[in-house]
Structure 1
Amino acid sequence: MPRTGSSGRPAGVDPELLWSQAERPRRGRPPAHNRAAIIAEAVALADAEGLAAVTMRAVASRIGAGTMSLYSYVPNKETLLELMIDHVSGDHRLPPGPSGNWRADLREIAHEQRAIMHRHPWLPGALPAQQTLGPNTLAVWEYTLAVLAPVGLDARAMLETFSVLTGFVASHVLYELAQERTVEAAGRTSGELLDKQARHLRSVAAGGGFPHLAQALEATSSDPAPQAVFDRLLDRMINGLTAAT
């Protein structure tokens, strides 16, 4: 038996129906709303209040429509989420083509992803639920595969490389966002919290029971800049993913 959503309609996303067909014009009076406006309002709501706040009822209220009328534009919340993910994927500033420096291009792709995820904090958590790829997402994939073409990876490895890279960025942004919430809740700066943690770890390591930890702490900055940390980890990720070349 197929799953059903809260409206009683079949749940799940049909990619052919979603992406291969434009919104069909209706007979009679022009529609009061359109899919693009609905998606924009859903994204704005998620940006402001989190993905849990995005319900069909809440989005309908924001555009001044009845909840049931929203289903004539978007059949279920799963489809709405797919549309939202592809909408924000359109934020990517894609060059006309690769620069010829594939490492630099991969870094730039990752930087773009990180910036987009910080603008839309719900996105990292939404990506694992993504069921299909829309036109904006496909454009990013196509550009990335063009960047990776000179690396010498086979087709599957190129696809997996971008998937793992995206997963790394999403995971790191989730960590950064959690740290920001922790700092805000503590009422201190990130540097103050890191210094307090470092003092604790050094006092523990000084007992001699953790020699490797003590050595690592000696070489670690007490207040690493978030961008520098991201870039350092990103370079390691890229090196690891392309090591076969």
Structure 2
Amino acid sequence: MAARSEPGGDARLVWERPEPPARPALSPLSRERIVRAAIELADAEGLESVSVRKVAAALDAGPMRLYGYLSTKDELLDLMVDAVYGEITPPEQAGEDWRATLRALAHRTRQAAHRHEWFADLFGGRPHMGPNALAYLEVALAALYRAPGFDHIDTAMQAAGAVNAYVIGAVRSEIAEARAERATGLDERQWQDTSAPYMSRMLASGRYPTLVEVVRHATHPDADATFDAGLGYVLDGIATHLTR
């Protein structure tokens, strides 16, 4: 039997013709897989490395496929932030002790930010609207609003805002220190040693007597204790305000 072929095609019989190169099956996608890949990329290389193209490459998919699940990079960042809020908010309802609830949320937020440093660059500002972020806010406000003394929702919101502002500032400071250590190769003690001669001259000038007391007598607790102490001052201030 003669071989049949289309014009310009291969005239050999099917048994003699090589098969075309195998095309890989399309990798399955979901919004959860996309967000998880983006978070892994940000954890490893920083937030600036995250793009739809790079996330698609990590998933062995074309960038256009990802646009079926999200429209912009900003939406991807929103999804990433909300996924981290899902790590923070405990599944159980808030307890009766508003201080314990806010303290737990603050520490869980700090721990999440140290797992995902890029998160510290994105929280704060306008409230996040994802379901996990809303659940986080609900736990904090519910713990306050049903506690004695928080007789108006404005009081609960202002108290929650004060705690949140402290957590954002403290965590960003810690992350900035960690980044500086990596950038310079000097830990805090080594950095202090390099600046010690200058600081000695400045303190000897007599213009900074309180800073001299800090150098001579401050205990300089570790980061965990420092964070918890500062958080305690904020919570104590809220409690004092309620008793007025």
Shared fold per TM-score greater than 0.5: yes
1:117 aligns with 2:113: yes
- Show the counterpart of 1:190: 188
- The CA distance in 1 between the partners of 2:183 and 2:134, in whole Å, is 38
- 1:244 deviates by 2.1
- Show the counterpart of 1:35: 31
- Show the counterpart of 2:84: 88
* Aligned equivalent of 2:223, options 216, 219, 226: 226
- 1:188 deviates by 4.1
* Aligned equivalent of 1:68, options 54, 64, 87: 64
Consecutive unaligned residues of structure 2, counting only runs of 5 or more, are: 1-25
- The CA distance in 2 between the partners of 1:139 and 1:66, in whole Å, is 33
- The CA distance in 2 between the partners of 1:101 and 1:198, in whole Å, is 45
Q: Which amino acid letter does the alignment assign opposite residue 51 of structure 2?
A: T
- 1:169 deviates by 1.7
SS in 2 for 1:73: coil
Matches within 5 A, 1:204-243: 204-221=202-219, 223-243=220-240
User: More displaced, 164-173 or 93-102?
Assistant: 93-102
SS in 1 for 2:93: coil
- 1:199 deviates by 6.8
Note if contact 2:124-2:168 (Cα within 8 Å) is conserved in structure 1.
Answer: no
Alignment deviations for residues 91-135 of structure 1 (CA, whole Å, 9 cap, x no partner): 125162333332222111100000001111001111246664111
- 1:198 deviates by 6.3
RMSD value, Cα: 2.6
Alignment deviations for residues 23-51 of structure 1 (CA, whole Å, 9 cap, x no partner): xxxxxxx9931111111111111111111
Q: Which structure has the bigger radius of gyration?
A: 2
Aligned residues between the structures: 215
Q: TM-score, normalised by structure 1?
A: 0.76
User: More displaced, 186-195 or 162-171?
Assistant: 186-195
Note if contact 1:202-1:217 (Cα within 8 Å) is conserved in structure 2.
Answer: no
Shift in CA distance, 244/187, structure 1 to aligned 2, threshold 3 Å: same
- The CA distance in 1 between the partners of 2:90 and 2:187, in whole Å, is 35
User: More displaced, 74-83 or 181-190?
Assistant: 181-190
- 1:66 deviates by 1.3
Shift in CA distance, 244/134, structure 1 to aligned 2, threshold 3 Å: same
Alignment deviations for residues 138-169 of structure 1 (CA, whole Å, 9 cap, x no partner): 21111111221215232123223323322322
SS in 1 for 2:241: coil
Note if contact 1:86-1:137 (Cα within 8 Å) is conserved in structure 2.
Answer: yes
- 1:59 deviates by 1.1
Note if contact 1:202-1:214 (Cα within 8 Å) is conserved in structure 2.
Answer: no
- Show the counterpart of 1:6: none
Q: Percent identical across equivalent pairs?
A: 33
Alignment deviations for residues 200-241 of structure 1 (CA, whole Å, 9 cap, x no partner): 5455333322223223433312x4211111111111222334
- The CA distance in 2 between the partners of 1:85 and 1:169, in whole Å, is 16
- Show the counterpart of 1:165: 163
Greater RCO structure (CA 8 Å; 6+ sep): 1
Q: Which amino acid letter does the alignment assign opposite residue 225 of structure 2?
A: A
Shift in CA distance, 158/137, structure 1 to aligned 2, threshold 3 Å: same
Q: Which amino acid letter does the alignment assign opposite residue 108 of structure 2?
A: E
1:108 aligns with 2:107: no
